[in-house]
């Protein structure tokens, strides 16, 4: 059985990139403390408010490859006389693995870190070189309303880390990549599309079979499970987890601008993106095998962070109201 996938025939570059990107975090604004498009193994940021619940969920097995930083709000930090003891009881120490995170001008004015002689943190590992980080947006309604960006803002150290729920171990990222490629090959037209995008027949067969073998050996090719989580339909074909339409592999090669115009042929094909079956939520690691599939960009946007079930229930209520109100929708 082939285990060294580096020796496999190459995928078309666009597809290769699409699969590679699945191990990176979502995009974030430059003014946020969250790192943009970096590996999901980066330093993890955990809000202090979820720490206890988080420790409980992780069963004391907090083992992030690149460490973690706990963020306390100034409101919580300065209104609690016993905050240092409470933090220390949990193994948390300001400047060591914990920082105060200023997000509003009120917090900044009420307890200005300069008057406390605090320094903004710069390093993602101990020692941080400071006690706080600040990301306060500009406002025009008051004097001195410029934005305040302190800590983790140098080019080499932009962003403090990633959101805790975006974290995944290298091993999980690797498994997800294998499985996501297998799901692409399970699109009914995957071979034709691969051929149209530059792969030769023998390479297609070899790559496809090897990926299936690797997935099988790692327990990543359970067809019943795929159907249960809406990644495949009962015929074993890849579907969009939300609208359940069968996916054409051509969707992986369409960029947004193509879907919007220029090429008439592409108008019928929708762009495909990574799709979280259980949405990303605080305290739960959802970058995991059988929780990631491929779906329409449009469906992804509709489901967003609400989840598939909640979105379907909402749509049902919208339809019912429309029908009850007498609008003719011409459905079934």
Q: For Zn ion, which stretch binds (CB under 5 A), given 10-18, 85-93, 136-144, 297-305?
A: 297-305
Range in contact with Zn ion (rule: CB under 5 A) among 31-39, 104-112, 256-264, 288-296: 288-296
- Shortest separation between residue 311's beta carbon and Zn ion, angstroms: 11
Per rule CB under 5 A, is residue 207 in the interface with Zn ion?
A: no
Taking CA atoms, 128 is separated from 66, 90, 161, 172, 310, in Å, by 14, 19, 13, 28, 41
| Binding of residue 303 to Zn ion (CB under 5 A) | no
Number of residues that bind Zn ion (CB under 5 A): 5
Point out which span in 76-84, 124-132, 152-160, 291-299 binds Zn ion (CB under 5 A).
291-299
Q: Do residues 102 and 74 lie in contact, with contact meaning Cβ atoms separated by under 8 Å?
A: yes
Name the residue whose CB lies closest to Zn ion. 240
Q: Does 231 bind Zn ion (CB under 5 A)?
A: no
Ordered DSSP codes for 191-245: HHHHHHTT--HHHHHHHHHHHHHHHHHTT---HHHHHHTTSB-TTS-BB-TTT-P
CA distance 175 to 240: 21
214 makes contact with Zn ion (CB under 5 A): no
Residue of 194, 240, 249, 269 that binds Zn ion (CB under 5 A)? 240
Q: Is 287 in the site for Zn ion (CB under 5 A)?
A: no
Strand pairing report for 292-296 and 272-276: antiparallel
Span near Zn ion by CB under 5 A; candidates 29-37, 120-128, 187-195, 233-241: 233-241
- How many CB atoms neighbour CB 64 within 10 A? 18
CB of 231 vs Zn ion, minimal distance in Å: 12
Position 315 contacts Zn ion (CB under 5 A): no
- According to the binding rule CB under 5 A, does residue 296 interact with Zn ion? yes
* Residue 299 in the binding site for Zn ion (CB under 5 A): yes
Angular region, 202: left φ>0, alpha ψ -120 to 50, beta rest: alpha
**Per CB under 5 A, does 205 bind Zn ion?**
no
The reply on whether position 243 binds Zn ion by CB under 5 A is yes
Q: Minimal distance in Å, beta carbon 257 to Zn ion?
A: 20
Residue 133, H or E segment: strand 132-136
**Binding footprint of Zn ion on the chain (CB under 5 A):** 240, 242-243, 296, 299
């Amino acid at each position: 059985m082939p285990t060294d996938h580096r020796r496999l025939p190459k995928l078309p570059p666009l597809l290769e990139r699409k699969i590679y990107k699945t191990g990176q975090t979502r995009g974030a604004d430059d003014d946020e403390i969250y790192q943009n498009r970096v590996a999901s193994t980066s330093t993890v940021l955990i809000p202090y408010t979820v720490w206890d619940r988080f420790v409980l969920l992780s069963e004391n097995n907090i083992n992030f490859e690149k460490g973690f930083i706990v963020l306390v709000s100034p409101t919580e930090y300065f209104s609690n006389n016993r905050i240092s003891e409470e933090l220390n009881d949990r193994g948390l120490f300001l400047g060591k693995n914990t920082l105060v995170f200023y997000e509003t001008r009120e917090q900044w004015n009420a307890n200005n870190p300069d008057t406390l002689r605090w320094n903004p943190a710069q390093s993602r590992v101990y020692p941080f070189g400071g006690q706080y980080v600040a990301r306060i947006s500009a406002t025009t309604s008051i004097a001195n309303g410029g934005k305040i960006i302190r800590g983790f803002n140098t080019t080499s150290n932009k962003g403090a880390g990633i959101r805790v729920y975006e974290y995944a171990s290298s091993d999980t990222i690797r498994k997800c990549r294998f499985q996501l490629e297998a799901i692409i090959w399970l699109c009914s037209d995957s071979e034709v599309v691969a051929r149209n995008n530059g792969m030769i027949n023998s390479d297609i067969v070899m790559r496809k079979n090897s990926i299936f073998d690797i997935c099988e050996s790692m327990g990543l090719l359970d067809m019943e499970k795929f159907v249960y989580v809406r990644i495949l339909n009962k015929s074993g074909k890849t579907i969009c987890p939300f609208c359940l339409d069968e996916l054409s592999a051509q969707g992986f090669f369409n960029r947004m601008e193509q879907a919007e115009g220029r090429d008439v042929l592409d108008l019928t094909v929708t762009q495909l993106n990574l799709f979280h079956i259980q949405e990303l939520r605080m305290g739960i690691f959802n970058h995991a095998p059988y929780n990631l599939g491929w779906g329409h960009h449009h469906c992804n946007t509709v489901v967003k962070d609400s989840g598939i079930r909640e979105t379907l229930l909402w749509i049902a209520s919208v339809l019912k109201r429309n029908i009850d109100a007498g609008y003719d929708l011409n459905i079934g």
